[in-house]
Structure 1
């Protein structure tokens, strides 16, 4: 089934937060007892400050509300052999609300993200995937890369 994928703007900040919160709950990153007021405030501020610049978001609306979302954070880094432009994009928040799954919405949003990245000259797209989402990315040609590490600074 084909859905209308739309690029989201500042007016979608509340809908975006609602689905992002649903994603965090499902992944166990927050619980229903977690005080998310600061996270909500920080997420909305980031969204409003960056949307349409280095943050692009897409969504699909069904039954009057946002049913699926996907985000692309754009950035530049020092070029390297596999990416001489240094233009990269980090994909996140690809999420479909439970009532709308298994209809291809995430796939269509991912296609929109890939198309826009190509138009902007992005050479590398990367992401962190849940086990549930991994088949979608593998089908699009993403490869698993086990050598990345992270450090959270206080």
Structure 2
């Protein structure tokens, strides 16, 4: 396996590989080989990324080894009314951090995460947040992220 890799910002031309890496992340995180409605999920993700990437509602960075994408990351900026500690009201939600198993342990996730944080600082984000897997938690904690036990989440029930 090639040992060198580089990081770059992803674009719409990377859409299919971003979908592939996102599916690998979801399969891994949820412990499944395939989702019941996977084709629908892939098509919905394709539509979302095709709109959100060029509009700046979703930004992605990837790690490239040769011609292959081996890792991905993403960030979604959004605004809310200013709060103490975030007068700008701009927040960044980090998601889709994933490195293929054979490429882990080489600093790729840390390099991708550094790009996301650089982008967040350049944009003036007052808050950056994410949901961490057990595997990813040490990276985020090593740069100062802390758990927030005050959030609640609602998921609509099937009809």
What band does the TM-score fall into relative to the shorter chain?
over 0.9
Runs of 4+ aligned residues of structure 1 deviating over 4 Å after TM superposition are none
Q: How does 1:71-86 map to 2 (within 5 A)?
A: 71-86=74-89
Q: Which residue of 2 aligns with 1:49?
A: 51
* 1:34 positional shift: 2.8
Q: Secondary structure at the match of 2:91?
A: strand
Counterpart CA distance in 2 for 1:64 and 1:152 is 39
Residue correspondences, number: 154
TM-score (norm 2): 0.91
* 1:63 positional shift: 3.7
Counterpart CA distance in 2 for 1:138 and 1:60 is 22
* 1:150 positional shift: 0.5
Q: Which residue of 2 aligns with 1:140?
A: 143
Which deviations, in whole Å up to 9, do the C-alpha atoms of 1:124-147 show, x marking residues without a partner?
100000000000000111111111
Q: How does 1:105-124 map to 2 (within 5 A)?
A: 105-124=108-127
Unaligned runs of 5+ in 1: none
TM-score (norm 1): 0.94
RMSD: 1.6
Cα 1:112–1:33 shift into 2, 3 Å: closer
Counterpart CA distance in 1 for 2:107 and 2:142 is 13
Q: Which residue of 1 aligns with 2:99?
A: 96
Q: Which residue of 1 aligns with 2:37?
A: 35
Cα 1:23–1:148 shift into 2, 3 Å: same
CA contact (8 A) 2:74 2:94 kept: yes
Counterpart CA distance in 2 for 1:120 and 1:61 is 25
* 1:29 positional shift: 6.2
Counterpart CA distance in 2 for 1:34 and 1:112 is 34
Counterpart CA distance in 1 for 2:70 and 2:62 is 7
Counterpart CA distance in 1 for 2:30 and 2:67 is 27
Counterpart CA distance in 1 for 2:30 and 2:126 is 32
